[in-house]
């Protein structure tokens, strides 16, 4: 096993040992077919900003097909993978996360979910893969989108919003600015002398409305509870995990919290995760929904477009509080 030198490791984020943090057993589980799913979703989003979704209706064959194609790509020689990079922001990236100096023990593919907008980098990925990678990706994304619409419509019902499609319509919009990311975390070098955990992906919140995560059976994902405690999420390769994003926190006027999360690298096993980020059209105005607000309730946030927030989010560091500049002060 490769052992990195101290200088080589300096570019990566090292955490104090997590003392074999036990897997957290309190993650809310929502059965999408349960009669009370709408209220269970709202409760989970309010208390954790995160939940596990079971009986989701996405065929596991689609999941397995995509995982196989993704691993086939990530196992290619580095020179071949590099042809699909550097990301623009779509395409292949390695170690560097965003433009502002964040790095992690990760390589990834970022794709646009709009089949009419395929970036040149994405085309190079699909063209070089003889196993119908593009079709497999599109079949998976189509199924996950349908599931996501159901979740958002149940969420709207649970919030008491009269228009059931108030949230789902934003993702159904043909100009929806959604994206799809596949993260591969290779086994990381042992660092026995340092006795530290190497970060695969640093702590952050997701800027979009909602994120739908699926990962293999390797642990590593951690979420931050409301009291600031980091807990490890038990992996479940047959289920999906749903994250509240920053935009949804604003739209619910803080009732739902955008969950802070991170990924720790594993010294022996690789981890593969696939995330659909559901975002609105760039011109969409983001503000608390009037139907969620109580009479006389003040908005906690200034109104902004998704484009304005996206630009601000992607020029910040991962761990920054991206919503801070958009929060209203007492003087506003």
The whole-angstrom separation of Cα 131 and Cα 66 is 11
Q: Measure CA 93 to chain center.
A: 16
Residues identified as active-site: 271
Omega of the bond leading into 108 within 30 degrees of 0 (cis):
no
The whole-angstrom separation of Cα 7 and Cα 3 is 12
What are the structure tokens assigned to 33, written together? 């077919």
The whole-angstrom separation of Cα 18 and Cα 91 is 33
The whole-angstrom separation of Cα 8 and Cα 192 is 15
Q: Of 99, 76, 328, nearest to 84 (Cα)?
A: 76
The whole-angstrom separation of Cα 322 and Cα 326 is 8
Omega of the bond leading into 86 within 30 degrees of 0 (cis):
yes
Dihedral, 315, 317, 319, 322 alpha carbons, nearest 10: -20
What are the structure tokens assigned to 144, written together? 């996950």
DSSP result, 129-194: -SS-HHHHHHHHHHHHHHHHHHHHHHHHHHTT-SSTTTTHHHHHSTTB--EEEEEEEPPPPP-TTT
| The pairing of beta strand 261-264 with beta strand 210-215 | unpaired
What are the structure tokens assigned to 317, written together? 């560091």
The whole-angstrom separation of Cα 198 and Cα 209 is 29
| The pairing of beta strand 50-54 with beta strand 91-97 | unpaired
Phi-psi region at 132: left, alpha or beta (left = phi > 0; alpha = psi -120 to 50): left
Cα angle value 163/164/167 (rounded, 5°): 95
């Amino acid at each position: 096993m490769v052992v990195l030198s101290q200088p080589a490791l300096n570019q990566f984020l090292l955490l104090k040992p997590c003392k074999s943090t036990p897997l957290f057993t309190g993650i809310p589980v929502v059965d999408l077919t349960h009669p009370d799913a709408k209220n269970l979703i709202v409760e989970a989003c309010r208390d954790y900003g995160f939940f596990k979704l079971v009986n989701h209706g996405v065929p596991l064959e689609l999941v397995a097909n995509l995982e196989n194609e993704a691993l086939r790509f990530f196992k290619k020689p580095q020179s071949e993978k590099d042809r699909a990079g550097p990301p623009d922001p779509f395409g292949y990236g390695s170690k560097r996360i965003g433009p502002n100096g964040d790095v992690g023990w990760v390589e990834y593919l970022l794709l646009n979910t709009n089949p009419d907008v395929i970036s040149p980098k994405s085309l190079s990925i699909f063209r070089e893969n003889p196993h119908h990678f593009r079709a497999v990706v599109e079949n998976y994304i189509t199924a996950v989108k349908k599931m996501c619409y159901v979740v958002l419509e149940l969420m709207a019902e649970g919030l008491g919003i009269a228009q059931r499609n108030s949230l789902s319509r934003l993702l159904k919009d043909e100009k929806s600015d959604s994206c799809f990311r596949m993260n591969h975390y290779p086994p990381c070098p042992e660092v026995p002398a340092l006795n530290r955990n190497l970060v695969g992906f640093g702590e952050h919140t997701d800027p979009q409305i909602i994120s739908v995560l699926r990962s293999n059976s390797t642990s590593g994902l951690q979420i931050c509870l409301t009291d600031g405690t980091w807990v490890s999420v038990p992996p479940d390769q047959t289920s999906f995990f749903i994250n509240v994003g920053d935009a949804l926190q604003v739209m619910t006027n803080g009732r739902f919290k955008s969950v802070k999360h991170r990924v720790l690298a594993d010294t022996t096993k690789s981890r593969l995760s696939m995330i659909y980020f559901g975002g609105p059209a760039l011109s969409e105005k983001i503000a608390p929904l009037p139907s969620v607000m109580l009479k006389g309730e003040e908005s906690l946030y200034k109104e902004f477009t998704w484009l304005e927030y996206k630009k601000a989010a992607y020029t910040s560091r991962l761990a920054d509080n991206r919503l801070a500049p958009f929060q209203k002060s007492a003087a506003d």
